[in-house]
Chain A
Amino acid sequence: MGKTILVVDDSASVRQVVSIALKGAGYDVLQGSDGVDALKQLDGRRIHLIISDVNMPNMDGITFVAEAKKLPAYKFTPIIMLTTESQEDRKRQAQVAGAKAWVTKPFQPEQMLAAVSKLIAP
């Protein structure tokens, strides 16, 4: 059984691109359309890594990371921010909230898989 990764993005096409890359590498993928939707999926199930967008409706990615880190079951789950943004202050906010990496879009699947592999073994 592969490791499970939760992909959170309000863009369905980005979720699909990330999911296909991850599934091709043998990971199981869950999807969330924004921070609120993603938090509902953090119900105790085993999730090895989270990839989240920053700018999303209802709950943005940095708030989602902070909320996820409050849940004991996901306190140590590594989180990658996947975003079009590149401002340093936003990166610092994500780091303070508990994210482990910041990847800017558009990304190549190989880059994303390399970042994932660095945080969890395939």
Chain B
Amino acid sequence: MAELLWMLVILAVGLGAGFAAGRKRPGVAPAEERVADTHITGVERLAESLAPIWSAQIDSSRSQMETAISQLTEQFAGIVENLDAVLASSAGALEEGQGGTFDRSRSRLGEVVGTLDDALATKRQTVSELRNLQSLNSELRQMSGEVSAIAAQTNLLALNASIEAARIGEAGAAFGVVADEVRALAEHSLSTSERMADKVGRAASTIGTILGNAEETAAREDRAVAGANAEVQAVLDDLQQLVYGFRDSSSDLERAAAGIRSEVSQSLTNLQFQDRICQVLEHLRASMNRFAETVAEAGDRARTDGPPIDPDEALKAISASYTMDEERQAHASGRAAGVRESEITFF
């Protein structure tokens, strides 16, 4: 576009030069001079009016683009920050899920099952003690039977002694009294032994009942604890599967989020074009303002018979204002130029 403007400058300069040359030539009518002056004034007014219009249009476009790109960049930056937060949060939750909650759950459930196991062991010990008691009771019953047998034999022996004491008469009277007392003691022992056997029998019955109940309870609790162990293990297995599933899902999300972050960052990098375009537009605006000034100067020189402006000098001045290689290349070749890759120079 700058080159087109300069064509207009050259046109204005040409008109001015022709006008100046015409005035110097003898025989040129004043009417022709007025016509040329009118043309020059028209071009000057056009240039003077167009320059601020073009500047305003460029400023407006540049401003809109800058605002839009800035907003876009802000939003992209927000997305990147949110993704960073999500990634950090996901990593924390994953670590907590794997090493924290699951391990704590396993430990606490293990403690509960351990307590049940301890209670069951105590119950088994009680059953064992009851069996020992039952065995002792059987021995007591056997001993009671032995005492009864001894009492019966003693009674028979005392009866025989009484008979012998009566047969020998007066001399055996005292021995007969002793024999009767022994017989009474034997009968008393037999009675005590029978009562003892009765008590031992009842104790055996009670112990048997308690032992039966204890064995049944212990067996039931044994099954309950075994069932609880299986249930706890199943719950832990399910929980572990859940954690693994969460971990896999979280890893997938993490990879996806990292991919999105990378793409958004790359998109942001590509938005750097705005900075370059803004500079090109700024230089273009300056060129247009310079164009209006040059046209005015060309007109003044034409009217005052001054030397024509040098378009090459003017173009050179514009070229010197460029800051980017692609601007210089486009200026020199008249064709669009590509952007060179970034270069790093260390001092």
Pick the contact of A91: B76, B275, B342, B345 (CB < 8 A). Answer: B345
In this complex, the interface size class of chain A, counting residues with CB under 8 Å from chain B, is 35 or more
Query: At the interface, is chain B mostly helix, strand, loop or mixed?
Result: helix
**Restricting to A67-122, which residues have a CB under 8 Å from any CB of B?**
84-87, 91, 94-95, 99-109, 111, 114-115, 118
A20 and B273: CB pair below 8 A?
no
A19: CB under 8 A from chain B? yes
Pick the contact of B271: A13, A114, A118 (CB < 8 A). Answer: A13
B323: CB under 8 A from chain A? yes
Kindly provide the distance from the CB of B174 to the nearest chain A CB, expressed in whole angstroms. 118
Pick the contact of A84: B66, B73, B76, B279 (CB < 8 A). Answer: B279
B324 and A86: CB pair below 8 A?
yes
A106 to B345, CA, bound (A): 14
A39: CB under 8 A from chain B? no
A21: CB under 8 A from chain B? yes
Kindly provide the distance from the CB of A5 to the nearest chain B CB, expressed in whole angstroms. 16
Q: In the assembled complex, which residues on chain B have CB atoms less than 8 Å from the CB atom of A2?
A: none
Interface flags for B67-83 (1: CB within 8 Å of A; 0: not) read 00110111011001000
Kindly provide the distance from the CB of B284 to the nearest chain A CB, expressed in whole angstroms. 15
A12: CB under 8 A from chain B? yes
* Residue with the greatest number of chain B CB neighbours at <10 A, chosen from A9, A86, A114: A86
Interface flags for B315-347 (1: CB within 8 Å of A; 0: not) read 000000001110000000000000110111111
Kindly provide the distance from the CB of B109 to the nearest chain A CB, expressed in whole angstroms. 41
**Restricting to A11-47, which residues have a CB under 8 Å from any CB of B?**
11-14, 16-17, 19-21, 23-24
B276: CB under 8 A from chain A? yes
Q: In the assembled complex, which residues on chain B have CB atoms less than 8 Å from the CB atom of A107?
A: 269, 272, 342
Q: A17-B73, A19-B77 are in contact. Are A101 and B272 (CB under 8 A)?
A: no
A108 to B262, CA, bound (A): 12
B289: CB under 8 A from chain A? no
B207: CB under 8 A from chain A? no
Kindly provide the distance from the CB of A7 to the nearest chain B CB, expressed in whole angstroms. 13
B274 and A13: CB pair below 8 A?
yes
B214: CB under 8 A from chain A? no
A21 to B272, CA, bound (A): 13
B347 and A13: CB pair below 8 A?
no
B275 and A14: CB pair below 8 A?
yes
B265: CB under 8 A from chain A? yes
Kindly provide the distance from the CB of B183 to the nearest chain A CB, expressed in whole angstroms. 109
Q: A11-B278, A13-B272, A20-B265 are in contact. Are A87 and B323 (CB under 8 A)?
A: yes
Q: Which residue of B lies closest to A85 (CB)?
A: B323
B73 and A12: CB pair below 8 A?
yes
Q: A91-B345, A101-B347, A102-B347 are in contact. Are A17 and B269 (CB under 8 A)?
A: yes
Interface flags for B241-283 (1: CB within 8 Å of A; 0: not) read 0000000000000000000000001001111111110110000
Q: Which residue of B lies closest to A103 (CB)?
A: B344
- What are 17 sample pairs from A and B whose C-beta atoms fall under 8 A apart? A11-B278, A14-B275, A17-B73, A17-B269, A17-B272, A20-B265, A24-B84, A55-B323, A86-B343, A94-B347, A100-B346, A101-B345, A101-B347, A102-B343, A103-B345, A105-B272, A106-B339
6 smallest CB-CB distances across A and B, nearest first, come from A13-B73, A106-B272, A107-B342, A102-B345, A12-B70, A95-B347
